């Protein structure tokens, strides 16, 4: 089985990556292949997993991810830095087990006459405006839904629901559900202006389209990346045809993961 390592630059991560590489090279069942891997081991935290996802985006349907965390939050990274041997043993016994989660498709049209863009996010995409209020129309399934005024909007996957989405008051969604969510950032609500004020979760056949009143001075992100500074006509969000696959050698119940990461370790852990 072909395995790649994608590490951040931290001291511990680099040490873990070196140990992993040595064990993979010594294994008769594993082969190191950074170009066409079947398994990608990210070493760092969730941010490193996001970077690994974007690095291997074009081959995403052929890859399963595994994460080792080295002192970060590590919400989506199942293995600790002292478990390198156990992970390599599991890789050697691999029988293709995996779990897959939905991704966010982002399609952008511009007013400059140039080509449209499309992107895929593992966590979320945000549209923000820093100088002044962002004013946009929101359509759901091509029907006008509301006019939003505020700092911005965050459209997230279930995987991303525990990231930025959580900080702006979105709901946490178990990634077994095929859905996307749009959450508000500091909406203006008074006698004159009104938004729903709640996160909205839509099913797979519904597209969320955002049409900014002003094409300029908007900031569009996809996970940790700033993706466009061109004048935006509209952005359409839907569930992507591709999914992300994780090699599931151990299973942590999603809600246990949530409570361990955000509330604290239980006495019985």
Q: Which residues are annotated as a binding site?
A: 46-47, 123-124, 149, 151, 162-167, 186
Compare residues 24 and 160 and give the one whose CB is closer to ligand NAP. 160
Compare residues 26 and 263 and give the one whose CB is closer to ligand NAP. 263
**In contact, 171 and 161? CB cutoff 8 Å:** yes
User: What residue number has its CB nearest to ligand NAP?
Assistant: 47
Cβ of residue 65: shortest distance to ligand NAP, in angstroms? 13
Backbone angles phi, psi at 46, to 5 degrees: -65, -35
Cβ of residue 61: shortest distance to ligand NAP, in angstroms? 20
**In contact, 236 and 207? CB cutoff 8 Å:** yes
List CB contacts of 260: < 8 A, sequence separation 6 or more.
266, 269
CA distance from start to end of the chain: 33
**In contact, 218 and 129? CB cutoff 8 Å:** yes
Binding site members for NAD(+): 46-47, 123-124, 149, 151, 162-167, 186
Q: Which helix (H) or strand (E) holds 187?
A: strand 180-187
Interface residues with ligand NAP (CB under 6 A) are: 45-47, 50, 72-76, 123-124, 159-160, 162-164, 167, 223-224
**In contact, 160 and 188? CB cutoff 8 Å:** no
Cβ of residue 258: shortest distance to ligand NAP, in angstroms? 9
Return the exposure string of 128-138: e unless at least 16 CB atoms fall within 10 Å of the residue's CB, then b: bbeeeebebeb
In the annotation, is 137 catalytic? no
Give the Cα separation of 203 and 179 in Å (integer): 5
Of the candidates 33, 46, 89, 112, the residue annotated as catalytic is 46
Cβ of residue 83: shortest distance to ligand NAP, in angstroms? 16
**Residues with catalytic roles:** 46
């Amino acid at each position: 089985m072909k395995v790649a390592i994608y590490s951040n630059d931290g001291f511990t991560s680099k040490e873990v990556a070196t140990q992993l590489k040595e064990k993979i090279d010594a294994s008769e069942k594993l082969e190191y292949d950074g170009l066409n891997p079947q398994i990608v081991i990210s070493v760092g935290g969730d941010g490193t997993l996001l970077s690994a996802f974007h690095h291997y985006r074009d081959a995403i349907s052929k890859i399963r991810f595994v994460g080792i965390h080295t002192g970060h939050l590590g919400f989506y990274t199942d293995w600790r830095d002292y478990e390198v041997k156990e992970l390599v043993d599991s890789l050697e016994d691999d029988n293709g087990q995996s779990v897959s989660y939905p991704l966010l498709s982002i399609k952008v049209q511009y007013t400059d006459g140039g080509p449209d863009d499309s992107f895929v996010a593992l966590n979320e995409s945000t549209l923000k405006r820093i100088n002044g209020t962002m004013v946009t129309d929101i359509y759901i399934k091509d029907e006008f839904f509301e006019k939003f005024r505020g700092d911005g909007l965050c459209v997230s996957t279930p995987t991303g629901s525990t990231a930025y989405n959580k900080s702006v008051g979105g709901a946490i969604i178990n990634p077994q559900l095929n859905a996307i969510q749009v959450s508000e950032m500091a909406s203006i609500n008074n006698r004159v202006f009104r938004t729903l004020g709640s996160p909205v979760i839509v099913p797979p056949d519904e597209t969320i389209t955002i049409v900014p009143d002003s094409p300029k001075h908007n900031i569009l992100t996809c996970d940790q990346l700033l993706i466009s500074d061109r004048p935006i006509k509209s952005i359409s969000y839907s569930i992507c045809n591709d999914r992300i696959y994780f090699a599931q050698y151990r299973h942590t119940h999603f809600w246990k993961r949530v409570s361990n990461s955000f509330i604290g370790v239980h006495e019985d852990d």
